[in-house]
Amino acid sequence: MTPAVRGNVDIFPDDAALTAAVAERFVAAAAAAIDATETFSVALSGGSTPRALFTALASPEYSSRIQWSAVHVFWGDERCVGPADADSNYRMARETLLDHVPVRATNIHRIRGEEDPAEAAEKYERDLRAAFETPTGPPRSAPGARFDLALLGLGTNGHTASLFPHLQAVREQTRWVMAENVASVQLWRITLTPVILNRSAEVLFLVSGKEKAAILRRVLYGARETDELPAQSIAPVDGRLRWMIDAAAAADLPAI
Ligand code: 6PG
C-alpha cells in the first residue's frame, strides 16, 4: 500500500497498513544497525497505540526477520508504577512482544517505576550512558552511542514520551532522563528528554485514530511552541524524523 507522503509524514489508509509499514521500518532499522554495529538499540513508546505494532513484531512474519539476540530494548518513558501494574509501559511491551521473542533478559533496560522516581531516573540514565559508552557529557552521534530507533507516540495535549506541556523536562539541556510529577495525569513519570531523543539515528512517531487529528495538525502545521506542544521539541540533530500516521489521524491535515 503506497502511503500519501507529505515531507517526512507518511499516511496510511488504516491501522493495519500503518502497523505493517512501521513493522517493516523496525525490521529495516534493526538490520541496518546490526550490520553496522552488531547491536540495535531501540526505545519503545508507551500508551496503547504501539500495542498492535508490538503484536505484529512478535508474529512469525516479522519476528523471524529480526536478530533479537542483538537487540537492546529501552523505553522512552515509564509511569511510576510497578512492572506488573496495568499502567506499566514495560508490562504492555512484555505481554505483547518481549515474552514472545528471544531478546536477552540482560538487554531489556527497564525503567524501575516501582522505585523512588528521582533515583529510578538517575539509575536509568546511568544504564543508558553505560550502554552508549558515554559516562559523562552530552550524547554522541556515533553509531552504537545512540538510539538507532526511537518510537514515540503523541498525546492529545501534544505531549510525547512523558514530556508534558510546561514541564521542566521539555526544556532540559543536559540530563538524558528526568522524573516529573505530572499533575494532568496524577502520576509521577520518568521520561527521556529531548537531549538524548534528538541524538537518535531515527525517530518515528506512530500516531493513529481520529482523536489525534486536531493535535496532529497543530504539531505539524501550527506555530512552533515547544513548551505548549512538547512533541515539537523532537528534531533529531543528525538523524531522520518520520511521522507514520493513519488516515483518521491525518483527517485535519492540509491537502497535499
Ligand atoms: C505514555 C506514552 C505517551 C503516549 C501518548 C499516546 O507513557 O503514555 O509514552 O507518550 O505515547 O500518551 O498514548 P496512546 O497511544 O495511548 O494514545
CA of 22 from ligand 1 middle (Å) equals 17
| Whole-number pLDDT of residue 255 | 81
CA of 36 from ligand 1 middle (Å) equals 31
Domains contained in the chain, number: 1
CATH number reported for the structural domain that contains residue 214 in this entry:
3.40.50.1360
Task: Report DSSP state, residue 88.
Answer: -
Q: 193 in a domain, yes or no? A: yes
| Whole-number pLDDT of residue 237 | 94
Q: 25 in a domain, yes or no? A: yes
Q: 31 in a domain, yes or no? A: yes
Query: Is residue 76 within 6 Å of ligand 1 at its C-beta?
Result: yes
Query: Is residue 47 within 6 Å of ligand 1 at its C-beta?
Result: yes
pLDDT in tens, the chain (256 residues): 455 555 589 999 999 999 999 999 999 999 999 999 999 999 999 999 999 999 999 999 999 999 999 999 999 999 999 999 999 999 999 999 999 999 999 999 999 999 999 999 999 999 999 999 999 999 999 999 999 999 999 999 999 999 999 999 999 999 999 999 999 999 999 999 999 999 999 999 999 999 999 999 999 999 999 999 999 999 999 999 999 999 999 999 988 6
Question: Which residue segment(s) compose the domain that 230 sits in?
Answer: 8-246
Please state, in angstroms and rounded to a whole number, the distance separating the CA atoms of residues 120 and 82.
12
Q: 144 in a domain, yes or no? A: yes
| Whole-number pLDDT of residue 1 | 46
Most ligand 1 atoms within 8 A of CB, residue of 18, 156, 159, 192 to mutate: 159
Alpha carbon 254 to chain centroid distance? 26
CA of 160 from ligand 1 middle (Å) equals 7
Q: 224 in a domain, yes or no? A: yes
Q: 3 in a domain, yes or no? A: no
Q: Which atom of ligand 1 is nearest to the CA of 78?
A: 7
Q: Rounding to the nearest 10 degrees, give the CA dihedral for residues 151, 156, 159, 160.
A: 0
| Whole-number pLDDT of residue 76 | 98
Q: 254 in a domain, yes or no? A: no
CA of 76 from ligand 1 middle (Å) equals 10
Q: Which atom of ligand 1 is nearest to the CA of 89?
A: 7
Beta-bridge mates of residue 189: 79, 180
Q: 38 in a domain, yes or no? A: yes
Please state, in angstroms and rounded to a whole number, the distance separating the CA atoms of residues 37 and 41.
10
Say if pTM beats, i.e. exceeds, 0.95: yes
Please state, in angstroms and rounded to a whole number, the distance separating the CA atoms of residues 196 and 146.
8
